[in-house]
Structure 1
Amino acid sequence: MTLIILYVTSFVIFLGIDFLGLGYIVKPVFDRHIGHLLLEDIRIFPAFAFYAFYVVVLLWFVSYPALAQDKSLLWVAGNAALLGAAAYGTYEFTSLAVMKDWSWSMVATDLTWGTFLTAATAVGGVWLTRMFTASLA
């Protein structure tokens, strides 16, 4: 039950925060540089597949070990931020290396966003799961 609570809370947090960040932080920067390449409406299935898989990876490497080993939220934030920086950095620096019109401002914006988003998701998911499981005990 703990793992289900952890996954659902983390997924909802990730989706909710990213919806705001993509619309108000990341998209304006990407529109400025590669707007002519962006779709009017996102493709739901690939987006959902990424969210579902990314949250599983976050739980595997950070959130579930934090619960199992009673790690601090600071530990969760640091490790999740590192994972987020690696994941978003891989995409951004590869894109910068091989794509026309990719810019340093896109890299900085998305890398910072992904690092923050991943850390906030893990901290929120672990904290809420601890709260729910403590109230059920």
Structure 2
Amino acid sequence: MTLPILYLSTFAVFLAIDFVGLSYIVKPIFERDIGPLMRDNFKVLPAFVFYAFFVGVLLWFVSWPAITANHSLWWVFGNALLMGGVAYGTYEFTNLAILKDWTTSMVVTDLVWGTLLTAVATTAGVAITRAVA
């Protein structure tokens, strides 16, 4: 029962926090810089696929090893911070390299947001699982 709790708690925290961040931190900057390219309503399926896959990867490389080896929450936070930096950095720096209207402020905002989001959600998922399971 531990693995489903770990996955669902991490997934729920990730979505809840990212909803706030995307709505109030990332979206205004993206609208300013690439507003005409943005959809009025985002597509749910591609977003769901990313979140579901990314949380699974985080569990594989960070959360499950932390649970089974009883690593500290600081260990979880640091390793998830690295994973978030890699994931969001890949997206942002690739876009900066190939898209003419991609801006440095978009890169910095989304990279910092995604990196911290990943670390906080992963750490919270492990903490919740330890408290409940």
Q: If the length of structure 2 is used for normalisation, what is the TM-score?
A: 0.99
- Aligned-residue Cα RMSD (Å) equals 0.4
**Letter of the 1:88 counterpart:** Y
Task: Report SS of the residue matched to 2:36.
Answer: helix
SS of residue matched to 1:100: coil
Q: Identify the residue that residue 46 of structure 1 maps to in structure 2.
A: 46
Distance 1:121 1:61 in 2: 14
Separation (CA, whole Å) in 2 of partners of 1:45 and 1:64: 26
Partner of 1:122: 122
Alpha-carbon distance, 1:4 to partner: 0.3
Identity of aligned residues (%): 59
* Uncovered stretches (5+) of structure 1, i.e. residues with no partner: none
In the alignment, the residues of structure 1 paired with residue 106 and residue 45 of structure 2 have an alpha-carbon distance, to the nearest angstrom, of 24
User: Which amino acid in 1 is paired with 2:74?
Assistant: L
Correspondence list, 1:1-137, <5 A: 1-133=1-133
Secondary structure of the 1:41 match is: coil
Quote how far apart the aligned CAs of 1:11 are: 0.5
* TM-score w.r.t. length of structure 1: 0.96
Deviation at 1:60, TM superposition (A): 0.5
Q: What letter is aligned with 1:92?
A: E
Gaps of 5+ in 2: none
Secondary structure in 2 matching 1:40: coil
Q: Offset of 1:100 from its aligned partner?
A: 1.2
Per the TM alignment, residue 128 of structure 1 is displaced from its structure 2 partner at its CA by: 0.2
- State how many pairs are aligned: 133
Query: Shift in Å at residue 5 of structure 1?
Result: 0.3
CA distance in 1 between counterparts of 2:76 and 2:70 reads 10
Could you tell me which amino acid in structure 2 is paired with residue 13 of structure 1? V
> What is the DSSP-based 3-state SS (H/G/I as helix, E as strand, rest coil) of the residue aligned with 1:20?
helix
Paired with 2:44 and 2:114, the residues of 1 have a C-alpha distance of 19
**What is the CA–CA distance in structure 1 between the aligned matches of 2:47 and 2:83, rounded to whole Å?**
19
